[in-house]
Each structure stands twice: as C-alpha cells, then as structure tokens.
C-alpha cells in the first residue's frame, strides 16, 4: 500500500452519538424497536407531526406567490423576522418605553439554534475574549464542540445531583461563586434543560442573576424550547426576560431556535440576540455590523423559507392562536407520556425511585439508567437511548410505553 501524500494533519473524531444512534435505529428490522434518542416530536403513532398551523401557513405562502421568495435577504437576515423573533423572546407587547428598551438588543438571523450558539461563541471569542466559558455538567454535547471550535477554554459547573436525580443548585452556585472570574461566560439553558429536564425555579433564577451581576459574569442563554416545554411562551422565557428586565446594567445574549416549537427541524430557523447594557445602546449597531461580518464570511445570510413560515404565523392573530394550541398539544402529550412511564414503573415495582421522570420538564428525561443498562435495552429489547441515560420522552406512546417500562424493569432486576 502506497503512502498517502498529504499536508493534512487529521485524526478520526468520534461520530456524533445522537445521529449514530438514530442511524442504527433506522436499519434495525425489529418490529418493536423504539427510538428514545433523537430530540424530535413524534405523534402517538410514532410519526412526524408537521404542525397544523405550519401547514396552513405553507398554503397561504403558496397563494401569496411572492416573486421574491427565493431572493437574497439582508446579511443580518429577513428584517421583519428579526423583530418578530426578538419580541417573542423578550415579550414586547406595547409596553411603555419599549422602543428605548428594544434599542439594547441587536438581532441577526442564524442557521437554527446551533448556528446561533456557534455565531455567539465566535463573536464573543473574537471581541470579548472570555477567559473561560462555564457549561453545566451535563449539558448538550454540542455546546462542548461549539466552544472548543471557538477556541475558548471550557469548565463545568455542577448541575445534576445523581443520588437524588435533582438539580444541584447549591453545587452550581458554590462552584461559580468560588471559581468563576470576571469576564467569564456562563451558558444557561432557558428552559427544559438538555439533557436532564431539570430547571431552576424562579427564586433560584433570581439568585443566579444576582451572582452573574455581582461577579460580572456574562450570561449566554440557549433557548431551544420556548413554548414547547410548558405550552406557554411566556413561562418558558421567564428566566431570559428576568435577566434582561431586572439587570439592565448587565450585558447578555440569547441563542434562539424555532426547530422544536414550530417543528421546523430541517428548515434551520434561528436568531441570535446580543443585549447591551442600558448605558451602551449606541454599541448595538456596531455589534450587529460585526455579527454580519462573521455571517458574510460563513453563510452569507439565514435560510428564507423557514423564517417566512414563522413570520406568516406570528403576524396573524388567527394563526398565532392556532400555534399556541399546537404548542399545548405537543407539551401535553409529553407530560402524558411522562406520567404513563412513571405509572408503569411504579406498578411493576421497579427497583429505584422514579418520581424524577414526572418532576423533570420538556422533551428529555435523565432516567438514571447506567450505560450498561442502556446497552442492555438496545441489545435485548431494541430500545435506543443515549448512554448517559437521556431519553427523548417524545418517542414513547400508548402502544410502546408498557413495553419500555417492562424492559427497564427487566434490565435493572437482571443487573441486580
């Protein structure tokens, strides 16, 4: 075999666990296979669910027959969409003095939430040069990759208390209090923490905001589930809005995704918001200008079709009302499946405690299953979930929840 002549210095990197797991599930011929890996909404029949309101919007867009629908937008994105995304995130609804407050926020369109996280990390790495970014332990695996590629040193703060399967608020606060330095970035999940499904309560969010302000840390919110987690866009944006409204002298940013709450997974709709402090609103346009510089060198501008759907829905009172109803449908089914799995495990008297399944929030549950148990579920029962024990509750249904609970019961009992 001849030697390869190349100047490249490359080594294999591990495959992405979620996509590799989904690929293995796709080729598994077993009739009772269950996918609890990938974070996408599924109906009780296990099928994708194009939101009814999205289908209505698509039909209206066809009728509109806009001649410019395939044209370039601005580098910062579809300009009307930017205001719509900002107002959804921060809750401007004719409030007194809203224009003055809006002047703090610079918004650009991104390639979904991943692109918003990446753009934000790149921008801060270039222009703020944070000594460290603090990620929750555990966090969405892609957070590590994004900040690694941005070249920012990464540390983690405690988040999950394994013994009680609960949010480790004391550990988080203690770690940030003693180790975080001025100028560090703290990445926070706005709601439905991925992968644990555990969120701070409002009192705890207030304490986290106070700590960030006092230690001069930079909050970076990742908002991937607004409206999807609780069914309420207001409730799921509470933390972001509290930080913004109650800490006006603190800068912050938000990565916003429309993948989950509009079911637009493949359309890649997102936005990045940089919030100046109230004394520095003159910097907003300069911030946007620099974000546009990064965008132009990377993807030129955000995709048009998906943001046109969001814009069509959120500029119509009727369609917006329909969208809120669709959010209720999705969030309610997730909650129903949590209760069903919990009830089955209790009925089977499965060893361990399972209250955490119904106490957690959003699409994912950190089940507490060990890697060995996860592998046993896959090998013996063709049930696919991440080795961390994170399960996508959306993959459960009335047809398979008993099967899944019995499988969990079996692998736990056999291990013991």
Name the residues annotated as catalytic. 140, 222, 260
CA-to-CA distance for 212 and 20, rounded, in angstroms? 37
Number of other CB atoms surrounding residue 273 within 10 Å: 25
Question: Got the DSSP string for 176-231?
Answer: HHHH--TT-EEEEESSS-TTT-----HHHHHHHHHHHHHHT-EEEEEE--TTTTTS
Count of all residues that appear for the chain in the document: 416
What SS3 string covers 9-52? CCCCCCCCHHHHHHHHHHHCCCCCCEECCCCCCCCCCCCCCCCH
Rg of the chain, C-alpha, whole Å? 22
CA distances 228 to 9, 42, 50, 356, 390, Å, are 43, 13, 14, 19, 18
How far apart are the C-alpha atoms of 144 and 20, rounded to whole Å?
Answer: 18
Element (H, E) at 275: strand 269-275
- Report the distance separating Cα 69 and Cα 306, nearest Å: 11
358 φ, ψ (degrees, to nearest 5): -90, -15
């Amino acid at each position: 075999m001849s030697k390869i002549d190349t100047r490249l210095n490359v080594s294999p990197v591990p495959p992405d666990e979620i996509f590799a797991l989904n690929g293995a599930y796709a080729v598994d011929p077993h009739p009772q296979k269950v996918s609890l890996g990938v974070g996408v909404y599924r109906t009780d029949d296990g099928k994708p669910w194009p939101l009814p309101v999205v289908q209505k919007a698509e039909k209206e867009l066809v009728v509109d027959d806009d001649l410019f629908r395939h044209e370039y937008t601005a580098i910062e994105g579809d300009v009307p969409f930017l205001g719509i995304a900002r107002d959804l995130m921060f809750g401007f609804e004719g409030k007194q003095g809203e224009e003055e407050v809006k002047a703090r926020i610079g918004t650009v369109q991104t390639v979904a939430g991943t692109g918003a996280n990446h753009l934000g990390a790149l921008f801060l790495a270039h222009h703020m040069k944070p000594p460290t970014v603090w990620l929750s332990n555990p966090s969405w695996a892609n957070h590590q990759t994004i900040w690694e590629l941005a070249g920012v040193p990464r540390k983690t703060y405690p988040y999950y208390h394994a013994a009680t399967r609960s949010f480790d608020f004391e550990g988080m606060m203690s770690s940030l209090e003693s180790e975080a330095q001025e100028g560090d970035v703290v990445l926070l999940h706005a709601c439905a923490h991925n992968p644990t499904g555990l969120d701070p309560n409002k009192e705890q969010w207030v304490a986290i905001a106070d700590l960030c302000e006092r230690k001069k840390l930079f909050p970076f919110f990742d908002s991937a589930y607004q409206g999807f987690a609780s069914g309420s866009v207001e409730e799921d944006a509470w933390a972001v809005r509290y930080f913004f409204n109650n800490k006006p002298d603190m800068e912050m940013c938000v990565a916003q995704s429309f993948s989950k709450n509009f079911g637009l997974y493949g359309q890649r709709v997102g936005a990045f918001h940089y919030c100046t402090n109230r004394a520095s609103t003159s910097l907003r346009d300069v911030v946007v200008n620099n974000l546009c510089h990064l965008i132009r060198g990377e993807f030129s501008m955000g995709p048009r079709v998906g943001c046109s759907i969001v814009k069509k829905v959120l500029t119509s009172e009727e369609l917006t009302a329909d969208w809120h109803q669709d959010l209720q449908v999705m969030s309610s089914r997730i909650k129903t499946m949590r209760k069903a799995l919990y009830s089955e495990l209790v009925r089977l008297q499965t060893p361990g405690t399972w209250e955490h399944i119904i106490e957690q929030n959003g699409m994912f549950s950190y089940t507490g299953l060990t890697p060995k148990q996860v592998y046993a579920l896959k090998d013996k029962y063709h049930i696919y979930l991440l080795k961390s024990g994170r399960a996508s509750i959306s993959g459960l249904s009335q047809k398979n929840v008993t099967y899944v609970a019995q499988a969990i019961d079996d692998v736990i009992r056999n291990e013991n």
